[in-house]
């Protein structure tokens, strides 16, 4: 087994991990960054990004991710892609004047590090219905704040009935002509204040006790088929976009025995991105953050790397 030793291991090469890598490099830290898939994270599935500062040409998520990767390469940062961290153990192994606190098993590679930045992101729950997989990023989105402006003046649908679904529907009402809220129950789970605002909004039509059965479209979403659970009737909605809010699964399993998680499995951090375990930091979508945006993930990465440099490894 190949053994590597480093001051800092960054796990995940999405926007947060890449931002952390850039700041770690500028700080002169010895570090390794690994990614279980292709570098770029969830944004590679996003059609267009309109709200990342400095990119007025509205790049695709894939193109923006490649820009971030190229920026890292400019600083001679090597991203170890298709390397999956299978297990993290807390150890105390001293070599010279350094104490390595963590041992990370990555298949045939074992990485010892003094600190960890967990940038593994979160995975949105999907409806798992016909046509969905091929239209993610082509009309199916999980973030109205990210993608809503792409559908100005059009008709869209929101799937879900919790606080996030209703908040995002209200946000969309400032941009689009009509919103269908599709909810499998006959009442919302959102708080009373949000429910009241949504029910008073003339752009919103509720479809109660209804589930999506199919998405239709080739290169982009053209329509969806929705079935009423009570009477079995099926309705076609010719919408330009669907925003799914049926929960997220944080990719926090590899550290769940080491750090404190919230009730939904997201990693708890303070404002320096430090977790409950000394030496472990969490950034981006995997932490319990109120916003899951590219810009906030990158900022998290910068904060974490600066804190590692200034407060932990001195």
> Is domain 2-123+248-312 in CATH 3.40.50.1970, yes or no?
no
Q: Where in the chain is the domain with CATH 3.50.50.60?
A: 2-123+248-312, 126-244
Decide which of 52 and 255 is more confident.
Answer: 255
Interval 267-286 mean pLDDT: 95
147 is an active site residue: yes
User: What is the 3-class SS of 224-254, one letter each residue?
Assistant: EEEEECCCCCEEEECCCEEEECCCEEECCHH
Which residues touch 123 (CB under 8 Å, ≥6 apart)?
Answer: 248, 249, 251
CA distance 138 to 146: 13
Question: Is the pTM here over 0.85, yes or no?
Answer: no
Which residues touch 87 (CB under 8 Å, ≥6 apart)?
Answer: 104, 105, 254
Q: Residues 80, 82, 85, 86: what is their CA dihedral angle, to the nearest 10 degrees?
A: -160
Q: What is the pLDDT of residue 124?
A: 86
106 is an active site residue: no
104 is an active site residue: no
Of 128, 8, 46, 32, nearest to 80 by C-alpha is 32
CA distance 285 to 294: 9
Phi, psi of 213 (to 5 degrees): -105, -25
287: which strand partners? 267
For the stretch 153-179, pLDDT in tens is 999 999 999 888 998 899 999 999 999
Q: What is the pLDDT of residue 62?
A: 85
179-199: b (≥16 Cβ within 10 Å) or e: bbbbbeeeebebeeebbebbe
Q: What angle do CA 267, 268, 269 make, to 5 degrees?
A: 115
For the stretch 233-251, pLDDT in tens is 999 999 999 999 998 899 9
- pLDDT band, residue 184 (cuts 50/70/90): very high
Is the distance from CB of 97 to CB of 7 less than 8 angstroms? no
Decide which of 49 and 62 is more confident.
Answer: 62
- Catalytic residue, from 7, 147, 285, 300: name it: 147
Of 243, 240, 209, nearest to 226 by C-alpha is 209
For the stretch 11-58, pLDDT in tens is 999 999 999 999 999 989 999 999 999 898 878 767 667 778 888 777
CA distance 153 to 63: 26
Asked whether residue 208 carries a pLDDT value surpassing 70, the answer given is yes
Q: Which CATH architecture has domain 126-244?
A: 3-Layer(bba) Sandwich (3.50)
From residue 203, alpha-carbon distances to 156, 206, 224, 286, 294 in Å are 11, 10, 19, 33, 29
- Catalytic residue, from 47, 146, 285, 300: name it: 146
Decide which of 47 and 129 is more confident.
Answer: 129
Is the distance from CB of 38 to CB of 81 less than 8 angstroms? yes
- Catalytic residue, from 7, 143, 300, 309: name it: 143
């Amino acid at each position: 087994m190949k053994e590597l030793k480093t001051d800092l291991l960054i796990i995940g090469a999405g926007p947060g991990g890449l931002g952390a890598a850039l700041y770690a490099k500028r700080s002169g830290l010895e570090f390794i960054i690994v990614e279980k898939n292709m570098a770029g994270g969830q944004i590679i599935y996003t059609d267009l990004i309109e709200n990342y500062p400095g990119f007025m040409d509205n790049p695709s998520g894939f193109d923006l991710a490649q820009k971030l990767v190229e920026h890292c390469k400019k600083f001679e940062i090597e991203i170890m892609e298709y390397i999956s961290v299978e297990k993290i153990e807390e150890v105390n192994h001293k070599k010279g004047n350094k104490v390595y606190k963590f041992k990370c098993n990555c298949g045939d590679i074992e990485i010892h590090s003094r600190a960890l930045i967990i940038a593994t992101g979160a995975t949105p729950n999907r409806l798992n219905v016909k046509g969905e997989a091929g239209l993610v990023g082509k009309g199916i989105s999980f973030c109205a704040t990210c993608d809503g402006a792409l559908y100005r003046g059009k008709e869209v649908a929101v799937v879900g009935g919790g606080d996030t679904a209703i908040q995002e529907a209200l946000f969309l009402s400032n941009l689009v002509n009509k919103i269908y809220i599709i909810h499998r129950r006959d009442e919302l789970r959102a708080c009373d204040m949000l429910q009241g605002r949504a029910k008073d909004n003339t752009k919103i039509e509720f479809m109660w006790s209804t589930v999506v059965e199919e998405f239709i479209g080739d290169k982009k979403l053209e329509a969806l088929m929705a079935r009423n659970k009570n009477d079995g009737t099926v309705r076609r909605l010719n919408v330009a976009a669907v925003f799914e809010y049926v929960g997220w699964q944080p990719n926090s399993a590899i550290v769940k025995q080491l750090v404190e998680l919230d009730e939904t499995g997201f990693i708890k951090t303070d404002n320096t991105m430090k977790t409950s375990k000394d030496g472990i930091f969490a950034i981006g979508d995997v932490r319990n953050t109120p916003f899951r945006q590219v810009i906030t993930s990158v900022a998290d990465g910068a904060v974490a790397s600066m804190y590692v440099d200034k407060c932990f490894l001195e």
